[in-house]
Amino acid sequence: MKNYIGNIFCGVLTLISLMATGQAKEKCVEENTSGVYTRPNIIFLMTDDQRWDNMGCYGKPEFNTPNIDKLAAEGVTFDNAFYAVAICMPSRVTMLTGRFNSNHRVGFVAPDDYTLSQSDFEKSYPALLKQAGYRTGFVGKVGFTVTEKATRPSTPKEHFYKEHLGNTFDYFAGSETYDYKGHVTWPESDVQLQNIFKEGREKSGRTLRTGEAMLRFIETQPEDQPFCLSVSFYAVKHDKDRDVYMPHYEQFKDHEFEAPNNWVEGENPDLPNVVKENARGVYLHRQRSSTPEMYQRLVSRFAAQGYSVDDQVGLLVDKLKEKGMLENTIIIYTSDNGRFQGSHGLFDKCLLYEESVKAPLIIYDGRMPESRRKRREKALVSSVDMASTIVSLAGLESSNSMQGKDLTPVLNQTQDMSQWRDAVFMEDLFLVDMFKERYKENVDEINQNLINSNKSYRAHGVRTERWKYFVYYEHTPKIEELYDLENDPSEQHNLVNTSEYTQILKTLRMKTEDLYQKAIQTR
C-alpha cells in the first residue's frame, strides 16, 4: 500500500514539475520498504576563492584539511576540473544555471553586466528540484542578483532575496558578500536560525556561523522529503582579522609555506603588456604577495580559513551520520574560482592560467558502492556541468537551457570515455577599468574606447588533457598563449611562436572558436 501511494505521489510530483517547467521530467523512484522516499539528498558546498591545490587531497598536506581529504578518499576526486569562468558572480551563475558566461551574461562589467532574470532563475538546479518536491535551502554568499527581468548594471542596491528567491528556497540564510551586512534569513519562525546571526555574537567567526546554519537545516529536515542544500562559504576570501577565525590561525601563523615554483617576487616581465599595464592582479600582487613576507602572511591566513571550512565539513558528515542520512546523501565540494597568490606575478583570479581556472571537485555519493568511488577521475569536466549533473542526480531531466554535460555516467563508470569531450571552454570577460566605471550611463562607449585603445585583455580559450590555449581576442593584433602542460605544468614557456607547434595552434584556435559559438547559442 505504501509503495502504491508513493508511486501516486511520484506521479503527481512529475506532473507538477512538467507543468511548472515544461522541461523537467522526474524519473520516479519508489519508496523503500520502510516507507521513506528514496530520492537522494544533495548538498552542494562551495568555497570562495579557494585555490585548487590548497588542500591535502590535491597534494598540499601543509594546509591541514583532514575532513575534506577523507571525503575525497571516500568519494570521486576530479583531477581535471576547470572553471568556465573564474570570477565569483558569473561563476556562481554558471554553476547554478548550467550556462556559459557569454550566454547568461551576468557579470560585473559591461556589456555582460546583467542581473539574472526571474525566468532564468526558475530554470536553475535549485528551482527545478524545488518544483519536483525537494526541500531546498541556501546558506552563505549569494554573490549575484535576481530581478524580475534582466537589468543593467548587475549590482543594484536592492537584492530582492525574499521577493525573488522565496519561492525557490524553503530555508535561507544569506547575503551578497558578508554575513554581517545585508544578511537575510527565513523562515522567520526559526528562532534558533535567527540567533545564529544575531548581531554582536562573540567567538562566532563567519565560517562557524555558516556551518551552524548548515547544520540547523539538517536538524530541521523532515524524514519524508528529500532535500537539496546549497552552502556558499564566505571563506577563504579576504584576510583581515574579522575574516579569520583566530583560534584556527594559531597552527599556521609560524608555519613557512612552500611557494609554488612559478611564484614571482616583484614584477613579472614575461606577462603580455596588455596584462601588465591593465589587469588588477598585477598591482594587487605588488601590494599583497610580491615579497616572501607578504606571501607567507597571506597564505597562512588562507590556510586557517580553509581549516575552518574543513572543520564544518567534518561536522556536516557527523550530523548526517547521526541522522542516518549519509547513505542516501550526495556531497559535492568545489569553489567558485581559483587564486594566483603570487603565481605568474599575479594575485587575483580571472586570467586563464591554471591557478585561476583549475578547480577542486570532490563528489561523494553515499548510495554508490565503494568499488565505484574511492578513486580519482581524469575526465575533463567544467563548472558548467554542475547544474545538469545535480538535476540528473535528483532523477530529473535538465532544462533545455543548460549547456553542460551530465557527469553521472562518469561517476557511475558507465561512460564510454572515447565519446567524452576532449576540451573544456573557458573565458574571462572582466576588465578592472570597466568595473570602476560600471555605474556610468555611457558604459558601452567607455568599453569600446578601451577596446579601441588596446586596453582590453578579455580572453577565451580551451584546456585539453595536455594543452592550454587562449587568446586576448579584443587586442589588435590578437595575443595568444599556448602551453604544453605535460612538460610545462607551471605555464612558463609560451609556444605560440615555435614552428613545431603550428598545427596544434591552428587546431586549438578552431576548437576555441567552435566552442565559443556553441556557448553563445540560445536555446
Nearest to 490 by CA among 377, 378, 361, 342: 342
Report which of 288, 309, 310, 287 is spatially closest to residue 297, judged by C-alpha positions.
288
Contact status, residue 446 vs residue 437, Cβ threshold 8 Å: yes
pLDDT tens, residue by residue, 365-386: 999 999 889 999 999 999 999 9
Domains, the chain: 1-38 (no CATH), 39-424 (3.40.720.10), 425-520 (3.30.1120.10)
Structural contact between residues 344 and 491, judged by C-beta atoms closer than 8 angstroms: yes
Q: What is the pLDDT of residues 115-156, one digit of tens each?
A: 999 999 999 999 999 999 999 999 999 999 999 999 999 877
Q: Is the pLDDT of residue 30 over 60?
A: no
- What pLDDT band is residue 523 in, cutting at 50, 70 and 90? low
pLDDT at 34: 35
Nearest to 306 by CA among 7, 502, 63, 490: 63
Q: What angle do CA 191, 40, 51 make, to 5 degrees?
A: 75
pLDDT digits (tens, 9 = 90+) for 164-213: 999 999 999 999 888 888 899 999 999 999 999 988 887 789 999 999 99
pLDDT at 45 over 70: yes
CB 431 within 8 A of CB 523: no
Burial tier of 416 (Cβ tally within 10 Å: 0-12, 13-18, 19+): exposed
Stated pTM of the model = 0.93
Per the structure block, which three cell numbers stand in for 378?
Answer: 581524469
Mean pLDDT over 437-442 rounds to: 92
Containing 483, the helix (H) or strand (E) segment is strand 479-484
Task: Answer yes or no: is pLDDT of 514 > 60.
Answer: yes
For residue 128, how far is the Cα from the chain centroid? 19
- For residues 295-315, average pLDDT: 98
CA separation for the pair 338, 348 (Å, rounded): 9
Residue 58 predicted with pLDDT over 50:
yes
Task: Output the CA torsion 201→206→209→215 (10° steps).
Answer: -170
pLDDT of residue 6: 42
What integer pLDDT is reported at residue 158 of this predicted model?
Answer: 78
For residue 139, which of 229, 238, 43, 42 has the smallest C-alpha distance? Answer: 229
* Number of CB atoms found within 10 A of residue 495's CB: 20
pLDDT at 61: 97
Report how far residue 503's alpha carbon sits from residue 396's, in angstroms, rounded to the nearest whole number.
42
pLDDT number for residue 203? 74
Inform me whether the pLDDT recorded for 25 exceeds 70.
no
Q: Tens digit of pLDDT for each residue in 95-122?
A: 999 999 999 999 999 999 999 999 999 9
Taking alpha carbons only, the member of 186, 161, 182, 160 closest to residue 172 is: 186
Cβ proximity of 337 and 355 under 8 Å: no
Cα–Cα distance, 386 to 364 (Å, whole number): 14
Query: Residue 5: what pLDDT?
Result: 40
418-424 average pLDDT score: 97
pLDDT digits (tens, 9 = 90+) for 324-341: 999 999 999 999 999 999
Average pLDDT score over residue span 237-266:
96
In sequence order, what are the residues at sequence separation of 6 or more whose Cβ sits closer than 8 angstroms to the Cβ of residue 464?
380, 422, 423, 508
Q: Is 278 left (phi over 0), alpha (psi -120 to 50) or beta?
A: alpha
Rounded CA gap, 173 and 336, in Å? Answer: 19
Q: Is the pLDDT of residue 20 over 70?
A: no
Question: What's the DSSP call for residue 326?
Answer: G
Q: What is the pLDDT of residues 3-18, one digit of tens each?
A: 334 444 444 444 444 4
The residue length of the chain stands at 523
- What tens digit of pLDDT does each residue of 148-162 get? 999 999 877 777 899
